[in-house]
């Protein structure tokens, strides 16, 4: 079947406006940061699982490649489409059922933005704990396909820990409906986890049952300054113990990140001096504001007495807390100041982090004397981000930067992707974090579920 005939057949499956062509495609981006337009043949926008199934049946029969689009906030080219691809966007599958307060669950379609789930949970006096800076744009389907992490992993885990059941469509159009709503289900293989983190290469997730948690009654937030990396790790151990398991965020900002974001102070009023080596944004949530606040302050006092921290500011209001988090979450501002930006998302053992960051910075400076790099991230769960600019996005320059980042990481026993997946941009470096036997097993699963290789072809492998 010719592509034009295939698109015409698909147009009969979806409601009016469900097929975008020409400039309606090229005026959209398929990457972040947005650079250039989408090159796909068409963008298909279904409104139901049944429509997704019918679309995939047609594409499977024709051997047509499909690239799935969610909120387009990924950083590894996982949603990038070529001129021979058809994009399947889940943007119109954005409905969610009422929150089940008793079972503490909510069932949502894949195109629902993360923030919408958070707000619905809060209205029901519950919490959906997954949280990241792109909360207003990223979608639940994308969160599942990349096993998203974010700010609260240290306490609540990654996306797979928030997932009770899914509905997905396989490459041939078969619908796998496993919308389980209970925490314990030990009946054979955990099918939902097969699709979690698979980046749309094994099937397209269309609906999910999400696990909600009790809404905390207290929230205590502080930004502290530390002068040595060893004290950053020791401070984490102290706070995790002293706060009795209520530590929910532990974000570390290297001095270069903090100074870059603060700048002249016109956008972010500096809460602490810019002269310290490290800054930690930590947060504890619990069940009683007064007693939890007292314990939080006592733990910080113990850290002062132990000479682990040299300065601190405790959020005195919701607005004050939001201002502190705005410094950590200002990735848009960071990208402007490091334009054109290259952003990396890696993980490794905490004791090796500072030496790794120093080695990468040294190598970048030797190759590009005018380069700049900043480091920050969710150190509490072993995840750090590196933002780099060498003044160019020329493919050869980008490849050279990636080689430094990932080869150095491989020597440290690190992981090349902590949150965003592999996509196109990291597939050549998968060997640094996965053994040949593991990669062969992944390919076996891919072949079994998508024998024609039409789902996100070329991604991961």
Read off the CATH number of the domain in which 264 is found. 3.30.70.2190
DSSP percent split of the chain into helix, strand, coil, nearest 5: 35, 20, 40
CATH code of the domain containing 143 = 3.30.465.10
Which residues form the domain of 352?
A: 332-420+428-442
What 8-state DSSP symbol labels residue 131? Answer: B
Q: Does 98 reside within a domain?
A: no
- Domain end residue (candidates: 57, 89, 121): 89
- Inside any domain, residue 451: no
Does 436 share its domain with 365? yes
Q: 340 and 325 in one domain?
A: no
Q: Which of 58, 89, 120 is the last residue of a domain?
A: 89
Identify the DSSP state of 460. Answer: -
- What is this structure's pTM? 0.92
The CATH number given to whatever domain includes residue 75 is 3.30.43.10
Our count of domains for the chain comes to 4
Q: pLDDT tens track of the chain, all 461 residues?
A: 688 899 999 999 999 999 999 999 999 999 877 778 999 999 999 999 999 999 999 999 999 999 999 999 998 999 999 999 999 999 999 999 999 999 999 999 999 999 999 999 999 999 999 998 889 999 999 999 999 998 899 999 999 999 999 999 999 999 999 998 888 889 999 999 999 999 999 999 999 999 999 999 999 999 999 999 999 999 999 999 999 999 999 999 999 999 999 999 999 999 999 999 999 999 999 999 999 999 999 999 999 999 999 999 999 999 999 999 999 999 889 999 999 999 999 999 999 999 999 999 999 999 999 999 999 999 888 999 999 999 999 999 999 999 999 999 999 999 999 988 999 999 999 999 999 999 999 999 999 999 999 999 999 99
| 447 occurs within a structural domain | no
CATH of residue 359's domain is: 3.30.70.2740
pLDDT of residue 107: 98
283 burial type by CB count under 10 A (0-12 exposed, 13-18 middle, 19+ buried): buried
Residue 51 placed within a domain = yes
Q: What DSSP character marks residue 387? A: E
- On whether residue 457 sits in a domain, the answer given is no
Within this chain, do residues 253 and 303 fall inside the same structural domain, yes or no? Answer: yes
Same domain membership, residue 194 and residue 113:
yes
Distances (CA, A) of 170 to 19, 122, 164: 21, 33, 19
Task: Give me the pLDDT at residue 31, please.
Answer: 82
CA distance 182 to 103: 8
Q: Are residues 251 and 205 in the same domain?
A: no
Same domain, 294 and 236: yes
Residue 100 inside a domain? The answer is no
Domain presence at residue 450: no
pLDDT at 60: 98
- Judge whether 408 and 359 are in contact, CB under 8 Å: yes
Which of 329, 357, 378 is the C-terminal boundary of a domain?
A: 329
Structural domain contains residue 458: no
> pLDDT of 243-277, one tens digit each?
999 999 999 999 999 999 999 999 999 999 999 99
Angle, helix 395-411 to helix 350-367, in steps of 10 degrees: 150
């Amino acid at each position: 079947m010719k592509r034009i005939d295939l698109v015409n057949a698909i147009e009969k499956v979806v409601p009016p406006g469900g097929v975008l062509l020409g400039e309606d495609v090229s005026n959209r981006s398929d990457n972040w940061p947005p650079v250039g337009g989408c090159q796909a043949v068409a963008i298909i926008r279904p409104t139901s699982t049944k429509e997704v199934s019918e679309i995939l049946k047609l594409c499977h029969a024709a051997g047509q490649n499909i690239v799935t689009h969610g909120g387009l906030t990924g950083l590894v080219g996982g949603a990038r489409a070529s001129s021979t691809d058809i994009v399947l966007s889940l943007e119109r599958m954005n409905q969610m059922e009422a929150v089940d307060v008793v079972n503490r669950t909510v069932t949502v379609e894949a195109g629902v933005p993360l923030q919408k789930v958070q707000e619905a949970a809060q209205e029901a006096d519950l919490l959906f704990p997954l949280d990241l800076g792109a909360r207003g744009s990223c979608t639940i389907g994308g969160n599942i396909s990349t096993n998203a992490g974010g700010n609260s992993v240290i306490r609540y885990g990654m996306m797979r820990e928030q997932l009770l059941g899914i509905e997905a469509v396989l490459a041939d159009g078969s619908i796998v409906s496993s919308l389980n709503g209970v925490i314990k289900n030990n009946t054979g293989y955990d099918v939902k986890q097969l699709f979690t983190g698979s980046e749309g290469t094994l099937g397209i997730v269309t609906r999910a049952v999400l696990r909600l948690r009790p809404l905390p009654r207290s929230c205590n937030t502080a930004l502290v300054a530390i002068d040595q990396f060893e004290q950053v790790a020791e401070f984490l151990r102290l706070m995790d113990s002293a706060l009795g398991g209520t530590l929910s965020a532990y974000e570390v900002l290297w001095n270069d990140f903090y100074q870059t974001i603060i700048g002249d102070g016109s956008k972010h009023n500096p809460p602490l001096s810019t002269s310290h080596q490290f800054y930690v944004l930590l947060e504890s949530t619990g069940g009683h504001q007064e007693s939890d606040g007292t314990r939080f302050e006592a733990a910080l006092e113990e850290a002062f007495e132990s000479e682990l921290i040299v300065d601190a500011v405790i959020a005195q209001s919701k607005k004050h807390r939001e201002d502190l988090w705005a410094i950590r979450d200002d990735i848009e501002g960071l990208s402007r100041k490091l334009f054109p930006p290259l952003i990396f998302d890696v993980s490794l053992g905490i004791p090796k982090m500072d030496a790794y960051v120093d080695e990468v910075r040294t190598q970048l400076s030797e190759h590009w004397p005018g380069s700049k790099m900043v480091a920050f991230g969710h150190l509490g769960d072993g995840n750090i981000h590196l933002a780099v600019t060498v003044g160019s996005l020329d493919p050869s320059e980008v490849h050279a930067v990636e080689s430094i980042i990932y080869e150095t990481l491989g020597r440290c026993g690190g992981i090349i992707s902590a949150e965003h997946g592999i996509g196109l941009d990291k597939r050549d470096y998968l060997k640094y974090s996965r053994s040949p036997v593991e990669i062969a097993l992944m390919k076996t699963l891919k072949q079994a579920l998508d024998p024609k290789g039409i789902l996100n072809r070329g991604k991961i492998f």
